[in-house]
Amino acid sequence: MIVEMRVGTTPEEIDGVVQKAKALGLGVQLNLGTNKTVVAILGSNTGQLTTDIFAVLPGVESVTRIMKPYKLASRGFKAEDSLVSVEGIEIGGRRVVVMAGPCAVESEEQVMQAARVVKEAGACILRGGAFKPRTSPFSFQGLEKVGLELLARAGHQWGLPVVTEVVDPHDVGLVSRYAALLQIGSRNMQNFALLTAAGRSRCPVVLKRGFSCTVTEWLTAADYLLSGGNSQVILCERGIRTFEDSTRFSLDISSIPVIKRFSHLPVIVDPSHAAGHRSLVPAMAKGAVAAGADGLLIEVHPNPEEALVDGLQSLTPSDFARLMDELRSVAKSVGRYI
Ligand code: PEP
Ligand code: MN
């Protein structure tokens, strides 16, 4: 349930709503907007309560039942777009934020070179996996802590904040000591222990869409992060599994306007994992920006043919530089910049 307070409501009136919810055993979360305060009433049994319980309280403008399972991620709770700040880089504003780098951190030389090429081409966040969630236990699993150190060093050297994946709830503290942005991968979108741990952190999180999950399930997963008190949440569309097998996954471009309609959270797109082949990545990246994505997460490798992971879908440095030039004009045509 969403309780919208009147403009100019007093702190006592807001507290009246909070106390009423607490007395009913319900949780609350406040959105103290510039004009208006909105109180989300959280609990599994709000469906059985009449909205009048809150509508009659002083200072209440209206009470709306949210029929969707997600609340805190909804536009009903927060009408204005959320901005997420990653070491001063704002995501969700007019700038389209490009995050790029190798799928996995493989060596100091590889990640340093990757950082240099993505920086020179105009990316502003460096990506690189240190903990890799691999389908097979026999595949390269990442350099783990050493990988975090190498990634952070490369980011520091080239003035780029870093984004990297966390796969274990116990590693949220460790990974956030190195990363400016935590990535929760597609295979872990509904790993509720991991979401809960990342929700307790104050490190910004990029939540990738599970490749078999609906937008509603994705936003409900985001509620785990938001309800833990972490308001710094970015969504990432990375393709879903369909009957189509000419690409690795099917990039669901429609999820961008759908997210913009139903949620206040920024949404970025990873064309690399959706495409599965580097020849397809540029068109998908440009399409995403044209459709309103707030950023891109792109795999770039200094030497894709030698990559230990995802070489086929990784752009070469020169492909990436060319794409960045093309993206600048696409961004401009939709009133944004890179
Ligand atoms: C990745 O970004 O390297 C990755 C594993 O992505 P996803 O979780 O989308 O498969
Ligand atoms: Mn990858």
* Nearest of 289, 249, 248 to residue 267 by alpha carbon: 289
Give the model's pLDDT for residue 46.
82
Q: How many Cα atoms sit within 13 Å of 140 on the Cβ side?
A: 14
Q: Which residues contact 271 (CB under 8 A, 6 or more apart)?
A: 251, 280, 281, 284, 285, 288, 296, 298
Q: What is the whole-number distance in angstroms between the Cα of residue 186 and the centre of ligand 1?
A: 6
Q: What is the CA radius of gyration of the chain?
A: 21
Give the model's pLDDT for residue 125.
98
Q: How many Cα atoms sit within 13 Å of 45 on the Cβ side?
A: 6
Give the model's pLDDT for residue 297.
99
Residue whose entry in the numeric block shows the structure tokens 């208006």: 36
The single-letter code of the amino acid at 211 is F
Q: To which H or E segment does residue 216 belong?
A: helix 215-227
**Cα 54 from Cα 19, distance rounded (Å):** 11
The single-letter code of the amino acid at 170 is H
* Nearest of 79, 48, 80 to residue 62 by alpha carbon: 79
Q: What is the whole-number distance in angstroms between the Cα of residue 270 and the centre of ligand 1?
A: 9
**Cα 138 from Cα 56, distance rounded (Å):** 61
Give the model's pLDDT for residue 289.
98
Give the model's pLDDT for residue 66.
81
| Nearest ligand 1 atom to alpha carbon 185 | 8
Give the model's pLDDT for residue 48.
81
pLDDT at residue 171 tops 80:
yes
Q: How many CB atoms lie within 10 A of CB 109?
A: 12
Mean pLDDT of 138-153: 97
Instruction: List, as ranges, residues with CB under 5 A of the ion ligand 2.
Output: 103, 310
Cβ-contact 126, 100 below 8 angstroms? yes
With a pLDDT cut of 90, the percent of the chain lying above it is 95
Give the model's pLDDT for residue 67.
78
Give the model's pLDDT for residue 47.
77
pLDDT at residue 147 tops 80:
yes
Q: What is the whole-number distance in angstroms between the Cα of residue 302 and the centre of ligand 2?
A: 14
Q: What is the whole-number distance in angstroms between the Cα of residue 88 and the centre of ligand 2?
A: 26
| Nearest ligand 1 atom to alpha carbon 132 | 5
**Cα 149 from Cα 167, distance rounded (Å):** 17
Beta bridge mates, 32: 37
Mean pLDDT of 168-182: 98
Chain segment 1-32, per-residue pLDDT in tens? 999 999 999 999 999 999 999 999 999 999 99
Give the model's pLDDT for residue 111.
98
Give the model's pLDDT for residue 241.
98
Chain segment 51-94, per-residue pLDDT in tens? 999 999 999 999 998 878 899 999 999 999 999 999 999 999 99
Question: Which ligand gives the minimal distance to the CA of 249?
Answer: 1
Give the model's pLDDT for residue 68.
86
Whole-structure pTM value: 0.93
Q: Mean pLDDT over all residues of the chain? A: 96
pLDDT at residue 183 tops 80:
yes
Mean pLDDT of 226-232: 97
Residue nearest (by alpha carbon) to ligand 1 atom 5: 185
pLDDT at residue 44 tops 80:
no
Question: Which ligand gives the minimal distance to the CA of 248?
Answer: 1
Q: What is the whole-number distance in angstroms between the Cα of residue 134 and the centre of ligand 1?
A: 9
